[in-house]
Amino acid sequence: MPTTEVSTSRTADILEEKIRSRRARVGIVGLGYVGLPLAVEFARAGFSVTGIDISEEKTRRVNAGDSYVGDVAGATLAPLVESGKLRATTDFSAVLELDTVNICVPTPLRKTKDPDMSFIVSSCQEIARHFHAGMLVILESTTYPGTTDELVLPMLAKGGLEVGRDFFLCFSPERVDPGNPRYQTVNIPKVVGGSTPACTQVGRLFYSQALHTVVPVGSTQVAEMVKLLENTFRMINIGLVNEMAMMCARMGIDVWEVIDAAATKPFGYMPFYPGPGLGGHCIPIDPFYLSWKTRQAGIEARFIELAGYINGQMPHFVVDKVQNALNDAGKPVKGSRILVMGVAYKRDIEDVRESPALDVLLLLQRLGGVISYSDPHVPELRLEGLRLQSVPQEAAAGADCVVIVTDHKSFDYGRLVERAPLIVDTRNALKGATSPKIVRL
Ligand SMILES: NC(=O)c1ccc[n+]([C@@H]2O[C@H](COP(=O)([O-])OP(=O)(O)OC[C@H]3O[C@@H](n4cnc5c(N)ncnc54)[C@H](O)[C@@H]3O)[C@@H](O)[C@H]2O)c1
């Protein structure tokens, strides 16, 4: 970990002075769940921030002080926009005026589970057109190790500028946890690694102006791998506990009770919980960036493939539970009214990307179930050819079976147990409730 001062160029000295004095003009490319909170933090720290996004709708809303990200309150955003500290544009020529750029664009997977680098490439091409000496560029999008130095660096260095001397390049993994009130962008420690020691030093200085804790590491590759280790760790442990849940179900053991008891061990154990499957833009996707890269080095990432397979089985496992519960109640799935409660990929947020609820709904519909959903955070849902609208929670009384897929805090679980005839609870949301009509994972 480079903690000592490194010798830097005059360009670095000028940029560092601008950063320290808050005169550096900060740019954030991609104003989504990651980029908008980051833009807000730097504006709050006193920097002049320009957000660049290809979405006219998002830039318009930011400029109107109207937040579309759950973790950014409109009351926080609006004054920053009004005071001129934060603005948004679709025009990449704004880069000409900027000193720093953080890239926070999507990194999805292709259908083949190969990384889709098109967003990084297209945003970097645009940045490169207006790039100039003296800039700091930090990639934050989750990606495979090597991306920053192998893909981004050549695009920026094309004009003959030298990294570490004329401009500075880092990778810093984004660790945002949407909906977590305790840990937000400002107090989640920020890991940063540069292409050169001078790059790391400038990157570290930059983040330390706005965020509480900065953790410098020795290279961009280390920083890229940190994120993949964190998310792969989660994915594999969730896979393990999901397999445990399937084993316990077969043996008639309550997996939730097992986990709670195991979690009393004060060392060497960390509880993970089973559920209907992985969701979101990170955990189901990021580990495959790593397995894709390691395959090129001749190593099969077997833990990742196995956990991916097990986690992918969970929506089917849930649907089997629903089917069996309905059969036991003397009703075939076909023609039964099935209400899915919660479709966001996790509690108290509105994001449905990769949500297992979508698979559960589609599988039930294919079996002939008459599906509906209730989610106060997701008023409307597009599901292949279907367009569904959220129904009130009270609809549970008229359903043949209710499936709790996402355990939003705002659901009234007491009333649900009173009214619903049959409940499949995939999250242990009804912990402590005892009723023959409750079927747990
Ligand atoms: N959402 C999370 O919880 C989370 C957590 C950690 C890391 N990440 C990572 O951060 C990155 C961004 O994720 P996100 O959730 O903020 O995505 P997002 O889809 O919410 O936001 C991305 C934004 O980038 C914009 N965009 C797309 N192409 C662009 C381009 N060429 N130029 C400018 N803007 C462009 C989109 O319009 C969108 O507003 C991803 O790599 C993701 O894996 C996300």
- Average pLDDT (335-341) is 98
CA of 281 to the centre of ligand 1 (A): 9
Task: Judge if the beta carbon of residue 224 lies within 6 A of ligand 1.
Answer: no
CA of 43 to the centre of ligand 1 (A): 19
Residue that has been written with the tokens 């030093």 in this structure: 201
Contacts by 380-385 with C-beta closer than 8 Å and gap 24+?
A: 381/343, 381/352, 383/358
Query: Is 282 a catalytic site residue?
Result: yes
Task: Judge if the beta carbon of residue 53 lies within 6 A of ligand 1.
Answer: yes
- Which pLDDT does position 73 carry in this prediction? 93
Q: Is 5 exposed, middle or buried (0-12, 13-18, 19+ CB in 10 A)?
A: exposed
For 225, phi and psi rounded to 5 degrees?
-70, -30
The mean pLDDT value of the chain amounts to: 95
Hey, whose CA ends up nearest to atom 15 of ligand 1? 33
- Between CA 90 and CA 149 the distance in angstroms is 26
Alpha helices in 112-254 (DSSP H): 118-129, 147, 153-156, 197-208, 220-251
- Between CA 104 and CA 140 the distance in angstroms is 5
Task: Judge if the beta carbon of residue 173 lies within 6 A of ligand 1.
Answer: no
Determine contact, residues 37/112, Cβ cutoff 8 Å. Answer: no
pLDDT tens-digit profile of 243-263? 999 999 999 999 999 999 999
- Which pLDDT does position 80 carry in this prediction? 98
**203 or 179: whose pLDDT is higher?**
203
- Local confidence band at 63 (pLDDT 50, 70, 90 cut-offs): very high
C-beta neighbour count of 181 within 10 angstroms: 8
Q: What is the pTM of this model?
A: 0.91
Q: What is the dihedral of CA 77, 30, 167, 24, to 10 degrees?
A: -10
Alpha helices in 45-117 (DSSP H): 56-63, 74-82
Q: Check pLDDT > 60 for residue 3.
A: no
Identify the active-site residue in 104, 248, 282, 401. Answer: 282
- Which pLDDT does position 111 carry in this prediction? 79
3-state secondary structure of 55: coil
- Between CA 427 and CA 441 the distance in angstroms is 7
Alpha carbon of residue 146 to chain centroid: 21
Share of the chain above pLDDT 70, in %: 99
The residue whose CB lies within 8 Å of the most ligand 1 atoms, and thus the one to mutate among 33, 148, 278, 348, is: 33
- Which pLDDT does position 7 carry in this prediction? 67
Closest to 423 in 3D by CA, of 404, 395, 398, 397: 404
List all residues 6 or more positions away from 302 whose beta carbon is below 8 Å from its beta carbon.
none
- Which pLDDT does position 366 carry in this prediction? 96
Task: Judge if the beta carbon of residue 55 lies within 6 A of ligand 1.
Answer: yes
pLDDT tens-digit profile of 367-426? 999 999 999 999 999 988 889 999 999 999 999 999 999 999 999 999 999 999 999 999
Task: Judge if the beta carbon of residue 115 lies within 6 A of ligand 1.
Answer: no
- Between CA 370 and CA 292 the distance in angstroms is 39
CA of 105 to the centre of ligand 1 (A): 4
